[in-house]
Amino acid sequence: MANGEGSELGRKLQKLEDIEEIKKLKARYCAACDGGWAGTQSHDIDAIVSLFAEDAVWDGGPFGQREGRAALRAYYEGNSAANPSLAFHLLTNPIIEVDGDAATGNWHLTILLTLADGASTLVGGVFEDVYARTPDGWRIKRSRFQLALSGTYEHAWSVGPAG
Q: How many domains does the chain have?
A: 1
The pLDDT mean for the chain works out to 89
Residue 153 has pLDDT above 90, yes or no: no
Helix%, strand%, coil% for the chain, nearest 5: 35, 45, 25
Q: Is the pLDDT of residue 84 over 60?
A: yes
Query: Is residue 19 in some structural domain?
Result: yes
pLDDT tier for residue 77 given thresholds of 50, 70 and 90:
confident
Residue 160 lies in a domain: no
> For position 5, what pLDDT does the model report?
56
* Contact call for residues 87 and 33 (beta carbons, < 8 A): yes
Contact assessment for residue 103 and residue 138, using Cβ atoms and an 8 Å cutoff: yes
- At residue 115, the pLDDT reads 83
CATH number of the domain that 103 lies in? 3.10.450.50
Q: Does the residue 161 lie in any domain? A: no
Residues spanned by the domain of 111: 3-154
**Of the candidates 6, 125, 154, which has an alpha carbon nearest to the alpha carbon of residue 61?**
125
Residue-level pLDDT at 163: 36
Region 17-33: what's the mean pLDDT?
97
